[in-house]
Amino acid sequence: MLVLINRGLFGPVFRENVFGTDKKVKLIVQVSFMKYQVRKAAGMYWLTDIANRNSLEFKKPMAMNESGFEMWQRLVEGKGEEDTAKELAQIYDIDYGDIIEDVKIFKKTLLDNGINLN
């Protein structure tokens, strides 16, 4: 599996990233965007602030399900709420009116957790 490990000066950097099989723990997804990193573990996606990882202040990771991760990916690409909702409505074959509300709630949850994509 190729995974995005960071966004360098010349675009995204990918590498094969599956390890820890002897411990039955696999890091399946590791996505970095600016100062945030997303990892998949225990069936959830975990969003962490890595900019202040050397700080003594611990910031609890934010858990996301699959649809939250899909929203995250589109929002960090710079897509707006409407475009994100349209794409997800098409992918999951659900009503745009329902998903746009979910996207708005997700963005508010990000802000409530101190995560600002602007």
> For 83-114, how does the pLDDT look when each residue is reduced to its tens digit (9 = 90+)?
999 999 999 999 999 999 999 999 999 998 88
- 65 lies in some domain: yes
What value does the mean pLDDT take over residues 42-70?
Answer: 82
**CA angle centred on 46, ends 82 and 118, rounded to 5°:** 40
Beta carbons of 2 and 14 less than 8 angstroms apart: yes
What value does the mean pLDDT take over residues 46-65?
Answer: 77
In the chain, the number of structural domains is 1
Host domain of residue 85: 2-112
- 118 lies in some domain: no
> Does the pLDDT of residue 76 top 60, yes or no?
yes
What value does the mean pLDDT take over residues 56-73?
Answer: 86
> Does the pLDDT of residue 24 top 50, yes or no?
no
- 67 lies in some domain: yes
> For 28-53, how does the pLDDT look when each residue is reduced to its tens digit (9 = 90+)?
344 444 578 888 988 899 988 777 66
- 117 lies in some domain: no
Residue 74 has a pLDDT of 94
What value does the mean pLDDT take over residues 56-69?
Answer: 84
What's the 3-state SS for the chain?
CEEEEEEECCEEEEEECCCCHHHCCCCCCEEEECCEEEEEECCEEEEEECCCCCCCCCCCCEEECHHHHHHHHHHHCCCCHHHHHHHHHHHHCCCHHHHHHHHHHHHHHHHHCCCCCC
Handedness of CA 34, 1, 44, 89 (dihedral sign): positive
61: amino acid identity, one letter: P
